[in-house]
Amino acid sequence: MAGMTPLTATRPEFLDLFPRGAELTRLAGDFTWAEGPTYVPSRRAVIFSDVRQNRTWRWTDKGVLEEELHPSHHQNGHTLDAQGRLVACSHGLRALLRQEAGGTWTVLADHFEDRKLNSPNDVALHPDGSLWFTDPTYGIDKPEEGYGGEREQPGNFVYRLAPDGQLTAPIRDRQMPNGLAFQTPDLLLLADTGKGDGHIHAYRLTPGGEATHERIWATVRPGKTDGLRVDQAGRVWSSAGDGVHVLSPDGEELGRVQVPETVANLCFGGPDGSSLFMTASRSLYRIETRVRGLEF
């Protein structure tokens, strides 16, 4: 891909978000369906999933690809908790997990109201320390993405795990809730991949952790929106069928990072948080930016 000019500006200021001559680099390939990237500063690496190969991988700042977990129990989305520990959504274990300092995994949530979760897909940290995660049924519907099983919940909810361990389900009106990100402490952006309409939904949040649907915040085409990340200026970087779409804080398209494969998810990372990593079907890509992820 070297030499390819991957940037398509919808508005001219889009090009200011990247160093001059920024190139798309394909870092690694041969994955089946790469997903769930999160940069872990203490590991100096991006951890990401190949859900269908039942593996997780790490791409280090030194530029080395190494196997992280096999089997990974079909981990999908990742984030860091308020203490910087890795949090994972596990299709196979139908659980939200946390990795401890010694490398062992703790189940944070695997039931709600005495019924098993479906198959947690993606997770985001709220500034109040709560972890919000989506629970569509892909990991139990698709034999290649989990260990099967029956749905026990009455719906596909978005859950909030409070810092005190209390689990609630503030969002119950979505079909297949998927990627999610907090644009501000009182606004959650949520992808719903159920209908394939590319909608990002906005939910207004209360300090107590309740959520009310506000509007369809943006529509991402071609493909659909899945993974979402927010930069320090409140712009939203969304996965799409043709790469990554960058949206203004109001949801207007600023431009696109063109990627030759469907992008499922993305994260900011690298030593200063300004490298954009994209998990795109069979490959992991990177482009340098002049912005930083909101979490850095």
Q: Does 135 bind Mg ion (CB under 5 A)?
A: no
Out of 38, 54, 79, 178, point to the residue binding Mg ion (CB under 5 A).
178
Residue 141's H or E segment, with its range, is: helix 138-141
Residue number with CB closer to Mg ion (81 or 122): 122
DSSP class of 231? B
Q: Which of 167, 157, 207, 170 is nearest to 186 (CA)?
A: 207
- Among the listed ranges 10-18, 114-122, 201-209, 254-262, the one in contact with Mg ion (CB under 5 A) is 114-122
Q: Which is nearer to Mg ion, 81 or 145 (CB)?
A: 145
Residue 235 contacts residue 244 (beta carbons within 8 Å): no
Contact status, residue 68 vs residue 90, Cβ threshold 8 Å? no
Neighbours of 291 (CB within 10 A): 19
Q: How far apart are CA 34 and CA 87, in angstroms?
A: 17
Smallest distance from Mg ion to CB 179, Å: 5
Min dist. Cβ of residue 253 to Mg ion (A): 21
User: In the set 122, 242, 253, 295, which binds Mg ion (CB under 5 A)?
Assistant: 122
Q: Counting contacts by CB under 5 A, is residue 50 touching Mg ion?
A: no
Q: Between residues 14 and 133, which has the closer beta carbon with respect to Mg ion? A: 133
Indicate whether 121 belongs to the interface with Mg ion (CB under 5 A).
Answer: yes
Q: Closest separation between CB of residue 194 and Mg ion, Å?
A: 12
Distances (CA, A) of 228 to 32, 109, 231: 21, 23, 10
Tokens matching residue 52: 């269908």
Closer by beta carbon to Mg ion, 75 or else 274: 75
* Residue numbers 226-245 binding Mg ion by CB under 5 A: 226
List the structure tokens of 242.
């043709």
The residue among 122 and 145 lying less far from Mg ion, judged by its C-beta, is: 122
CA gap 73, 54 in Å, rounded:
6
Q: Which of 104, 230, 85, 109 shows the shortest CA–CA distance to 162?
A: 109
We find the least distance from the C-beta atom of residue 121 to Mg ion, in angstroms, to be 5
Name the minimum Å distance from CB 122 to Mg ion. Answer: 5
Closest separation between CB of residue 286 and Mg ion, Å? 19
Read off the DSSP letter of residue 293: B
Site for Mg ion in 186-215 (CB under 5 A): none
Give the footprint of Mg ion on this chain (CB under 5 A).
121-122, 178, 226
